[in-house]
Chain A
Amino acid sequence: MQEHKVLVANRGEIAMRIVQACRKLGLDFVCVYTHEDRHSGHVALARSLGGERAACRVSSYHDANELMAVADHAGATAVHPGYGFFAEDFRFARRATNRDRKLIFIGPSWRVIRELGDKINTKRLARSLGVPTVPGSDKPIYDELEAEDIAASLFAFQAEQGIKRPMVLVKASAGGGGMGIEEVLDPDMFRAVYRRVRNYSRRQFHDEGVLIEQRIEDFNHLEVQVVSDRSGKNPVHFGTRNCTVQSTGRQKRIEVAPGFAPSEIAYTFDAQKVLDDIIGHSLTLARKVGYDSVGTWEWIVTRQGEPYLMEVNTRIQVENGVSAAISRIRGKNGVDIIAEQIRTGLGEPLGYTQEDVTFEGVGIEYRIIAEAPEDRFAPWVGRIDEFRWRDEPWLALHTQIPTDVAYDIPTEYDPNLALAIIWGKDLSEAKARGRGFLDGLTLKGENRQGGMRSNIAFLGDRTERLLVF
């Protein structure tokens, strides 16, 4: 591989994993951080592996000019956006690749991001290929009367379908990660909810557009992990994930790979066929657009086993590691999807086909978060005094929280503390190991209101019924 230097345009655990992947590939790197993140583990890791100048303080992770300035100063040749921030911003990707001092954008080409990154374009494209999608608006709605018309037709449609509790979902079009989504059960309440989501979207995302969709109840949330090289011709999949365990705000808390376990759990539908179908549909769409990086196809599957495509995330995802944990390339363990993304993003061919990718065991990823599940998952902010766990060969733990000094959680970002990825030879073993890991975890801290709050008990409670539908 040519010599490259990668600008890591993100923070926290994903920045750390990108740095580690760069080291694995023998690549140089430079990180950025904000004042609020000065004590984050990604800053310490960058400095320990790359020296004092390997971490540069910027005003914001959202400021593209800052990132470009740091890239130029550091002599970076590529930029990895991680997830969030600029990861799915086709304008940023276009700017990076088209400017005088070009940077390779480690992600899909900007045209692919533009085509698939937009939930609405994705829906249109999927429908044209016969891929099932959730009924609803196919463009962001800015007009209240138009929004009410769409909502009324969705309520009527569900009534015609015999759905007992018709429900509509109002989503901030510019949102993501489960933020800015509300349900409407009573048509008379639609206007109030619409206005609330619109105002929220304006404050948080500076955009008033909302999407209105049929709310499908009683479903599982599945994903297909796709990896492709710059040719865009031979995408392969790294299996499925089940992300059904979420917070009340529809943010993922546990991910399991593969998405169902038909060999251990009985389903009312042919679960293996559903997994095969969503993989097939995802790869069809990937080939159609010439998908040329790592990406995730998100699906909902109803209790009747009907899959609907929700959206495509044109980036690396938080939960990539749980798919890597069960994947083998030519029988070898230790798949690193972030390293694969960097390697192929820099122009190397994939070097293997679907036949070379096999799967072994079950992976569970726990998102350990400072929050109060009993209080609608309200984020907890304070100082973490102690964070310890026991190392195991079947455990990978990624965290930006220092374990040797106290750490104040910055209020500017989500209070995600760590990702714990557990592997077992089957679901039963993975669950048993997961419970053992959670039981042995030490996490202590405090703020002015008292002791630390976290979702550890919630994760333990939900482990028992993982993949049951």
Chain B
Amino acid sequence: MLDVTKLLEEIKASPYQEMEITAPQTGEVTFGGLAVGDKVVGPSGEFREKPGTTVATLTRERNPRPIRATQKGTVMEIFSDLEGTFVETGTPLVRIRHYLSKDEVQSAILRKALHLFRAPERAKYYFTPEVDTKIRAGGLESVHVREGMEILIMSRMKREAPLHYAGPDGVIYAVYFSPSQNVDAGAPLIGVCPPDQVALIQDVVVRVQTEWSEQD
């Protein structure tokens, strides 16, 4: 049986996550007035339409592109020796310490409570057109999955193959992949809530909402 209290205490003991912001493309990098210790925020708004804090600017073909924080946090390190230089894709630019949000804590605990249907191979995954239509119309929890159901399309090297669900019956509660992004073998694709776990899941949600306080 999942011990929600213990899991919450463990996360409270280490509530930070350190993350590196890397260059998503090539270009000449500048850091503007960013300083160690500055507070930054990630995108916000109902549709995440408000961009996060600019931590650097990459210029290529004379077009500057702001590189923004993806999470709320504090700047721990700026790789300022790169100022004004041309950087390759993937070069670390800034390191941020991020305090976990309620959603992140909830997601971390739910990963232990839900049945995780995992990727059999490193590949890109898509819901089948039927399942996709259902999710768009009625949300994730409108999809009841059962053993053997054709639920996903596995796409690798432009070859596609159907992927059948294996595991207990239930509804889809979480999706861990994005279309057109590769998923490593063994990584979770979806989290399924079996009927006998509904009470536990609801408990996790209530406990996190009431017991976890977010930092300003």
Contact = CB atoms under 8 A, between A and B. Distances in A.
A68 B60 contact: yes
A73 interface: yes
Nearest to B122: A411
Interface in B87-137: 88-90, 121-123, 126, 129
Contact of B90 (A57, A412, A414): A57
Max chain B Cβ within 10 angstroms of own Cβ: one of A34, A73, A200, A413: A73
Nearest to B180: A203
Contact of A379 (B60, B61, B159): B159
B136 to A, nearest CB: 15
B25 A414 contact: no
B144 interface: no
A204 B153 CA distance: 12
A337 to B, nearest CB: 26
Interface stretch (A20-28, A59-67, A254-262, A328-336): A59-67
B20 to A, nearest CB: 14
Interface residues of A, number: 30
B158 A381 contact: no
B interface bracket (residues with beta carbon within 8 Å of A): 20 to 34
A448 B185 contact: yes
Contacts of A179: 158
Contact of A68 (B61, B90, B122): B61
B157 interface: yes
B15 interface: no
Interface in A294-333: none
Interface in A172-192: 179
Contacts, number: 73
A72 interface: yes
A72 B60 CA distance: 9
A68 B158 CA distance: 26
Given A58-B89, A411-B182, A69 B157 contact: no
B25 A73 contact: no
Interface in B176-214: 179, 182, 185
A15 B101 CA distance: 45
Nearest to A416: B157
A249 B157 CA distance: 13
B156 A381 contact: yes
Contacts of B159: 249, 378-379
Contacts of B24: 59
B27 interface: yes
A200 B60 contact: no
Given A412-B182, A414-B157, A57 B60 contact: no
Given A411-B123, A412-B182, A66 B156 contact: no
A7 interface: no
Contacts of A70: 26
Contacts of A57: 26, 88-90
A69 B121 contact: no
Interface in A85-100: 99
A448 B121 CA distance: 10
B53 interface: no
Interface string B143-154: 000000000010
A285 interface: no
A4 B152 CA distance: 49
Contact of A56 (B26, B153, B185): B26
B155 interface: yes
A415 interface: yes
A59 B182 contact: no
Given A73-B26, A381-B156, A448-B185, A203 B60 contact: no
A164 interface: no
A412 B26 CA distance: 20
A199 interface: yes
B88 A65 contact: no
Interface in A352-401: 378-379, 381
A73 B88 CA distance: 11
Contacts of B88: 56-58
B160 interface: yes
Interface string A200-215: 1001100000000000
Contact of B27 (A69, A203, A204, A414): A69
A462 B75 CA distance: 62
A35 B122 contact: no
B25 A65 contact: yes
Contacts of B79: none
A414 B179 CA distance: 19
Contacts of B27: 69
A258 B126 CA distance: 43
Nearest to A415: B157
Interface string B65-90: 00000000000000000000010111
Given A68-B61, A381-B121, A203 B155 contact: yes
Contacts of B161: 378
A134 B135 CA distance: 42
A319 to B, nearest CB: 20
Interface string B26-58: 110000000000000000000000000000000
A57 B157 CA distance: 21
Which 10 residue pairs are nearest across A and B when measured between Cβ atoms?
Answer: A69-B60, A57-B88, A59-B89, A411-B122, A379-B157, A73-B86, A69-B26, A179-B158, A59-B25, A57-B89
18 contacts: A59-B24, A59-B25, A59-B89, A65-B25, A65-B61, A66-B25, A69-B25, A69-B61, A69-B86, A72-B61, A203-B179, A204-B158, A378-B161, A381-B156, A411-B122, A411-B157, A411-B182, A415-B157
Given A34-B89, A57-B26, 20 more contacts: A35-B89, A57-B88, A59-B90, A65-B25, A65-B61, A66-B60, A68-B60, A69-B27, A69-B61, A70-B26, A72-B61, A73-B86, A99-B61, A179-B158, A203-B155, A203-B179, A411-B157, A412-B182, A413-B157, A448-B185
